[in-house]
Chains A and B, each alone.
Chain A
Amino acid sequence: MADVIPYNREEKSAQPSSLYLPYKSTEFRAPKQPLVILPHTLSEVTGPVYGHGRMLPVDADLTKQHAGEPLGERIIVSGKLLDENGRPVPNTLIEIWQCNAAGRYIHARDQHPAPLDPNFSGAGRVVTDAKGNYKFTSIKPGAYPWRNHPNAWRPAHIHFSMFGPSFINRLVTQMYFPGDPLFAFDPIYQSITDEKARERMVSRFDMDSTIPEWALGYKFDIVLRGRNATPMEH
């Protein structure tokens, strides 16, 4: 069997270090030993591309998962999943989760004294279309406090999890909203030390996808690793 076509390596300036002490929980969870450099084999360039189950429209509309409407600013988040060559990544699963408009997660361990919303769970999933496009409807998540340092607050964000064409492409990130005053104080956002790379995590407000008298549009394109050649078509 021919050798596999490897993917590009991690873009070091775009990716965080495992150890970033301003984010305190990294202290005991970052490896201390050097990572072993792994050439990509068949095990890495393959991955789960089938069988994500049947998608329902409510999976991608977080405002329609309960009997009533959730509170908060209705938003439509859409964009493209691409690789570094600008090629769309079609037919792949994106999973999202977020807190509600008051900054509270529907999670037993979230003790922030902000109200839960009986009409909002905050989890969604969608499969990209043939051109790599995806779209979610939701409400804008709130900022919330955490205990990393005194008076610590997370900027509003939506967690995004992507698969892509191989297991190597697996990416979990957070999407932020433009102009958030908390960016300067947030060690998770600041863990990406390159400013240009950091800003790739910030969505942009988009009038074209804003629906009159209904919802604000935000665009968020996500870029996975690419590779320099394409495998033979079957």
Chain B
Amino acid sequence: MSKQRFGQTPSQTVGPFFHFGLPYEGDSNLITGDAQGQRIVVEGKVMDGAGEPVPDVLIEIWQANAAGKYDHPEDTQDKPVDEGFHGFGRCATDKEGVFRFQTVKPGTVPGPGNTLQAPHLVTFVFGRGMLKQLLTRIYFEDEAHNANDPVLGLVPDARRATLIARKTNSSAYTLNIVLQGEGETVFFDY
């Protein structure tokens, strides 16, 4: 194997005109078949540091299925893959800065060591004025496993709520993503 190191290609903004290149029909509905598990809606608004809604960002999510299994060869857990659910979704915000996904509630997945990660959506935010994408997570307030989640445990107490979606009815959750300023969402260096 070659020892030569190749330098990473730099990131650049998606700019304001990605809408004809990245979104596709049905991109924000992750349920592609007869998916197992609880069907939920996850929605929210993206806000900037001036307190304005952000109408031109793209949100992408990646998640485990209801059994807590990722549809990926490196997930070797003895849990079933779901033919009706692959775990990736994409949503451009609308004029009011709102995004909305239809999905299933993910199961718990293994964390470092013998820890268990509470159900969560891995979330990327891309946009004009964003030279590189920002990584965050969306958790759910009605999950007991949040208390012992190894990633939430890395986040200062006072900021943890920025990662936890509130339940608005039996099948809907809401969480705003604040790019900057008061209530700024926790973003990760990964």
Contact = CB atoms under 8 A, between A and B. Distances in A.
Contact of B10 (A39, A41, A45, A200): A200
Nearest to A83: B6
A48 interface: yes
Nearest to B131: A16
B184 interface: yes
Size category, B interface? 35 or more
Nearest to A170: B124
A134 B146 CA distance: 42
Contacts of B186: 33, 36
A223 B118 CA distance: 32
Interface residues of A, number: 84
A10 to B, nearest CB: 7
Interface stretch (B37-45, B69-77, B97-105): B69-77
Contacts of B31: none
Contacts of A39: 112
Interface in B87-141: 87-88, 109-113, 117, 120, 122, 124, 126-135, 137
B90 to A, nearest CB: 10
Interface in A6-53: 9-11, 14-18, 20, 23-33, 35-51, 53
Interface string B153-183: 0110001000000000000000000011100
Contacts, number: 247
Contact of A192 (B10, B77, B86, B181): B10
A185 to B, nearest CB: 16
Contacts of A192: 10
B132 A41 contact: no
B70 A46 contact: yes
Nearest to B4: A86
A36 B154 contact: yes
A42 B181 CA distance: 31
Nearest to B55: A109
A11 B189 contact: no
B139 to A, nearest CB: 12
Given A16-B10, A29-B129, A36-B187, A42 B49 contact: no
B189 A37 contact: yes
Contacts of A170: 60, 124, 133
B11 A123 contact: no
Contact of B62 (A48, A173, A197): A48
Interface in A44-83: 44-51, 53, 82-83
A225 B19 CA distance: 26
Interface in B59-82: 60, 62, 64, 70-77
Contacts of A210: none
A95 B16 contact: no
A172 interface: yes
14 contacts: A23-B131, A26-B130, A35-B188, A41-B150, A44-B190, A47-B72, A50-B71, A110-B16, A121-B20, A173-B9, A192-B10, A200-B8, A200-B10, A201-B10
Interface of B: 1-2, 4-22, 24, 32, 48-50, 52, 54, 56, 60, 62, 64, 70-77, 86-88, 109-113, 117, 120, 122, 124, 126-135, 137, 150-151, 154-155, 159, 179-181, 184-190
Interface of A: 1, 3-4, 9-11, 14-18, 20, 23-33, 35-51, 53, 82-87, 95-97, 99, 105-107, 109-110, 121-123, 159, 161, 166-168, 170-174, 188, 191-192, 196-198, 200-201, 222-226, 231, 234
